[in-house]
Amino acid sequence: MKNRIIDAIGNIDDELLEATDALRASNKRKNSAIIKWLAAAACVCLAAVSISLVFPRKAASDNRVQIWKDGYSAEDYFKNTAVSTDIMAEEKSDIAVPYAERRYFSDNRQQYEADGVIPVKDKNRRFTALANYNEDGSLYSLELAWHYDSQIENYSHLSVLAGLKEVPEINDCIFIETDENGNVVKPGLTVTERDGIKIIARGGRADKSISFQNASGWYRISGSWNDSYEAVTELFEWFWAHPVNFDDFTIEKGDNYTQTGLTDYLNLLSDEGSDSEDFIFSAFLPDFKRFGYVIAGNSLGMKNNEPVSFNVSVLSNLTQEEADAGEYTVGQNGCEMIDWTIDSEAFEGDTEGVKKLEELTRDSVLSLKPADEVTTQTRIRYIQEGCLVTIYTTDVELAWELIESIR
């Protein structure tokens, strides 16, 4: 019942929300000034720590540096950890993305594991590898992440941020840890010297990371709230022993994902399109025109200039001219919208439990409920020839007719 009340509160009138939101925003602006001041203070502290690292013999905090030895454990690396009870999210400021291009390397997981580029982490099934590049094509940063979220008790997100030199934070939202009295708690800082290199470990609930710069580059290894210090340390030890060869991640070697405007593909969506056989996703789409639908919009996801996903939105009870001119209101005068997406690269975790197209039944589709109260749209998903098809619709009966036509 209390869940129902929280859901019902989600439908509070907009004008009431706007008034409270305005009050919250006015206070936030003042807080932002404090946060910026705190950030500036933190920078001063960081600068002081950096100076102490660069000039260890002259710095007063020299006694904080621990010396690594055989058998050094995660507990040693994270000797100074902070205990906080709460985390607040605060807007930092608008920060422009400092890189010009991005490429993906996630498909190479097995090869990287075989070649010893990355460690094997079977439990964290979702792997992302991407690199960001400067305008001249040189590497700006490399991001690797191993993720697991199917069960909250085993949630894990381990990541590596690396570059030839230190990569600055570009988050537009920062998280501040506080104690039970609301006082800001900074992650505990532990510095270890190992083979002449300073290793900086930050220990807290939100920030659990190890960073260092060696001859190969700069690294920051991080873990989520649910990852142990041991897991972070284990990943650190891997990259300490297996430095990244950044030449493996040049812009030419990565996968380039783009979205196209699709004007050229419009005619291919009907059986009247002379080249429909050439369109890779033709077999996945019903003949919308035969059912009286017109195209509202579409987009084709490309990977290295090859189609990998497709999205089309269609409208009923309209002419194409009316749809193009935007002269319609969905839900009025019989005008309904259906959104159809085909993804040939869906992550296996997203397709678990999703039935195949041939296994769908009318009853199972019609029994689906709207995904949420706001959009009132129902989501229908199925697997067709290895692709994940997702349909959003306000009219499940109509959607079922369309699905049946392609079975």
Residues at the contact surface with other proteins, assessed by CB under 8 A: 1-14, 16-21, 23-24, 26-28, 31, 86-92, 94, 147, 149, 151-153, 155, 157, 172-173, 175, 182, 206, 224-226, 259, 296-299, 313, 326, 328-331, 337, 339, 372-375, 377, 392, 394
CB of residue 368 vs other proteins: minimum separation in angstroms? 15
Q: Would you give the DSSP letter of residue 81?
A: B
Of 186, 372, 377, 382, the C-alpha closest to 284 is 382
> Which CB sits closer to other proteins, 111 or 259?
259
Q: How far is the CB of 214 from other proteins (least distance, A)?
A: 27
Minimum CB separation of residue 155 from other proteins in Å reads 7
Considering the complex, state which of residue 80 and residue 260 has its C-beta at the smaller distance from other proteins: 260
Which CB sits closer to other proteins, 188 or 297?
297
Residues forming a β-bridge with 391: 340, 380
Distance of closest approach, residue 145 Cβ to other proteins, in angstroms: 9
The Cβ-side half-sphere exposure at 151, using a 13 Å CA radius, reads 4
Tokens representing 212 are 């260092």
How far apart CA 267 and CA 62 sit, in angstroms, is: 71
What minimum distance in Å lies between the beta carbon of 301 and other proteins?
Answer: 11
Q: 351: number of CA atoms within 13 Å, CB side?
A: 19
DSSP, residue by residue, 311-357: EEEEEES--HHHHHHT---TTSTT--EEEEEEETT--HHHHTTPPBG
Q: Residue 187 or 217: which CB sits closer to other proteins?
A: 187
Structural element, H or E, at residue 191: strand 188-194
Nearer to other proteins by C-beta: 73 or 319? 319
Which DSSP string do the residues of 35-52 spell out, in sequence order?
Answer: HHHHHHHHHHHHHHHHHH
Question: Greatest CA separation found in the chain?
Answer: 80
Output the smallest distance, CB 193 to other proteins, in A: 30
Q: Tell the burial category of 260 from Cβ atoms under 10 Å away from its Cβ (0-12, 13-18, 19+).
A: middle
Q: How far is the CB of 108 from other proteins (least distance, A)?
A: 22
Q: Which is nearer to other proteins, 34 or 43 (CB)?
A: 34
13 versus 70: smaller Cβ distance to other proteins: 13
* Closer by beta carbon to other proteins, 139 or else 308: 308
Could you tell me the CA-to-CA distances from 324 to 172, 297, 319, 340, 350 in Å, in that order? 36, 9, 9, 18, 34
- The nearest distance, CB 322 to other proteins, in angstroms, is 13
Residue 304 Ramachandran class (φ > 0 left, ψ -120 to 50 alpha, else beta):
left
Closest listed residue to residue 258, CA positions, set 299, 202, 228, 216: 299
Closest distance to other proteins from the beta carbon of 157 (Å): 5
Tell me the C-alpha to C-alpha distance, in Å, between residue 371 and each of 101, 377, 391, 393: 35, 6, 11, 10
In sequence order, which ranges of 167-252 are alpha helices (DSSP H)? 229-241
Determine the 3-state secondary structure of 159 from DSSP: strand
Of residues 94 and 247, the one with the C-beta less far from other proteins: 94
